[in-house]
Amino acid sequence: MKAITVCQPYATLVAILAKLYETRGWATKYRGPLAIHAAAAVPAWAVTATMGSPEIRKALTEAGFQGFAGGTHRDRKAIRRALEQLPLGAVVAMCEVTDCLPTSDLIGHPTAFVEKMCKEDDPQLHFGDFSPDRFAWLLGDVKPLENPATAKGKQGFWNWEPTP
């Protein structure tokens, strides 16, 4: 099965069915099953993004993850600790890549929630980088793994074999 490594908190946002798109700087023609792998480390930019996004912190808090509510967004170390409590170095969900669109083409796409997403108040805009010259992979049929499967990730697509 094809897999892609995604940094936290974004891998968990996919697994809790909050993040509908994976945004990348490259397009894919691939359609089909995809394993979502949480990177083994939390980069500084992800801590900064989580601190600056009430939408990310709210989605994680509503899903039952601790350390993202209240005033913790002002404490870089607290946010890092909370992110490090999310699964790291493990496959957290399986899904289907159903489409890949240039971010500039999202408005007018026939999928109904894309129209909704393009409204400024939709949290999807905070769950990826929708700036020009990027691509949004539509993720469907997301199934979170009850027990994340430890795996070593790679850049780009890589092959992952689930253990029975």
Within a domain: 62 = yes
User: How does residue 121 score in pLDDT terms, banded at 50, 70 and 90?
Assistant: low
Within a domain: 164 = no
pLDDT tens for residues 7-56? 999 999 999 999 999 999 999 999 999 999 999 999 999 999 999 999 99
Within a domain: 64 = yes
Q: Into how many domains does the chain fold? A: 1
Q: Which residues contact 36 (CB under 8 A, 6 or more apart)?
A: 3, 4, 6, 11, 14, 15, 22, 91, 92, 93, 94, 95, 139
> 24: exposed, middle or buried (C-beta count within 10 Å: 0-12, 13-18, 19+)?
middle
The whole-model pTM stands at: 0.90
CB atoms closer than 10 angstroms to residue 74: 9
pLDDT tens for residues 49-92? 999 999 999 999 999 999 998 776 678 999 999 999 999 999 99
Within a domain: 108 = yes
CATH label of the domain that carries residue 150: 2.30.130.30
Query: Looking at residue 113, what is its pLDDT?
Result: 45
Q: Cβ(86)–Cβ(47) under 8 Å?
A: no
**Gap between the Cα atoms of 93 and 147, Å rounded:** 10
Within a domain: 94 = yes
Within a domain: 57 = yes
Identify which has the larger pLDDT, 162 or 60: 60
Within a domain: 124 = yes
Within a domain: 83 = yes
Domain that holds residue 77: 2-159
| 3-state DSSP of the chain | CEEEEECCCHHHHHHCCCCCEEEECCCCCCCEEEEEEECCCCCHHHHHHHHCCHHHHHHHHHCCCCCCCHHHHHCHHHHHHHHHCCCCCEEEEEEEEEEEEEHHHCCCCCCHHHHHHCCCCCHHHHCCCCCCCCEEEEEEEEEEEEEEEECCCCCCCEECCCCC
